[in-house]
């Protein structure tokens, strides 16, 4: 028998959001870990907020919402608020009921900055890492460092000369997507900046790659399960990749020797020397295209001995 397609939808629902999330969904395990950490951070939250006044966004819900944004690559707070309005999975993870109103994107951004200024994000990361350490999931001796470009939420049309006066420009033919002709114009970070994201830098990963507005992200991973143990985002520059990696590895250095692997972008004399000063053996892919590698025979000799011993 053909089912009906009523024009009038039901007003009430008797199924909780919790029941709509599959029992084996990955967010369930993440939610359990997150709730444990948020309970531990409750005293730190109390120190950031006044005792009287209008209640703000609960920090627990704000941090869960930020995790949703990261895990599902939602590009802006405005888009995050839109997704929270209709996505039942996201509402359940954040802790919102079916009828809870969604926050204004500007209010959400201001409350997020309060947590960042209070070093809550770093404390949150450290406690999640402590859970992995307590379960013996982390290697204490062998690590890998890598870097990647983080696209800025800004278009190349916003990359304008720093000395340019916006009032001198003719009105755009299309306010939402104006026509901009870059032909024959030399553009660099020294003379130009993004009018919508001034901290972003024009950068390209290598020869033949396109230049784009971005930041540089770096991570240090332990080699047992590939879990991130250190992370940092900075401005994208030609030298920041190796220098920031040195700072991250230094936080893991100890009296006993450790190893760190990296790709050929880290085959620089400064990085190799810094690792050895930290009592860290660098296992870095050699970069010999048009130059001499900073890697000598010592790491290669260690690798040969390891293969022979097995």
Residue ranges per domain, the chain?
A: 17-125, 139-150+215-309, 153-199
The whole-angstrom distance between residue 201's C-alpha and the CA centroid of its chain comes to 17
Whole-angstrom distance, CA of residue 149 vs CA of residue 163: 27
Beta strands in the chain (DSSP E): 142-151, 159-161, 192-194, 201-203, 212-222, 228-235, 258-262, 280-284
What's the pLDDT tens digit per position in 10-36? 667 777 888 889 999 999 999 999 999
Q: What is the pTM of this model?
A: 0.76
pLDDT at 118: 79
- Burial bucket for residue 128 (CB in 10 Å: 0-12, 13-18, 19+): middle
Whole-angstrom distance, CA of residue 106 vs CA of residue 48: 19
Whole-angstrom distance, CA of residue 274 vs CA of residue 298: 15
* Highest mean predicted confidence (pLDDT) among 13-17, 39-43, 119-123, 269-273: 39-43
pLDDT at 98: 86
Whole-angstrom distance, CA of residue 201 vs CA of residue 78: 23
What's the pLDDT tens digit per position in 249-291? 888 777 778 899 998 888 888 888 888 888 888 998 887 776 7
- How many other C-beta atoms can be found within 10 angstroms of the C-beta atom of residue 291? 8
Q: Tell me yes or no: is domain 139-150+215-309 CATH 3.30.420.10.
A: yes
């Amino acid at each position: 028998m053909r089912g009906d397609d009523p024009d009038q939808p039901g007003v009430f629902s008797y199924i909780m959001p919790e029941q709509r999330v599959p029992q084996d969904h990955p967010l369930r395990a993440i939610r359990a870990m997150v709730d444990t950490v948020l309970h531990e951070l409750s005293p730190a939250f109390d120190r950031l907020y006044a005792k009287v006044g209008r209640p703000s966004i609960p920090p627990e819900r704000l941090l869960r919402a930020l995790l949703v944004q990261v895990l599902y690559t939602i590009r802006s707070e405005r888009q995050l608020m839109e997704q929270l309005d209709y996505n039942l999975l996201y509402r359940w993870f954040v802790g919102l009921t079916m009828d809870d109103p969604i926050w204004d994107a500007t209010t959400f951004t201001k409350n997020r900055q309060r947590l960042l200024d209070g070093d809550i994000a770093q404390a949150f990361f450290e406690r999640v890492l402590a859970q992995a350490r307590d379960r013996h999931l982390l290697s204490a001796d062998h690590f890998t460092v890598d870097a990647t470009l983080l696209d800025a939420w800004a278009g190349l049309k916003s990359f304008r000369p720093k000395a340019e006066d916006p009032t001198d420009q003719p009105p755009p033919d299309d306010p939402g997507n104006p026509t901009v002709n870059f032909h024959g114009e030399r553009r660099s970070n020294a003379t130009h900046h993004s009018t919508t994201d001034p901290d972003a830098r024009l950068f390209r990963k290598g020869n033949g790659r396109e230049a784009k507005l971005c930041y540089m992200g770096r991570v240090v991973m332990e080699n047992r399960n590939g879990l991130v143990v250190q992370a940092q985002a900075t401005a994208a520059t030609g030298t920041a990749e190796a220098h920031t990696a040195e700072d991250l590895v230094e936080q893991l250095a100890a009296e006993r020797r450790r190893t760190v692997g990296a790709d050929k972008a880290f085959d620089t004399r400064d990085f190799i020397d810094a690792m050895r000063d930290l009592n860290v053996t660098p296992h870095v892919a050699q970069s010999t295209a048009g130059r001499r590698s900073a890697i000598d025979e010592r790491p290669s000799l260690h690798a040969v001995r390891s293969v022979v011993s097995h």
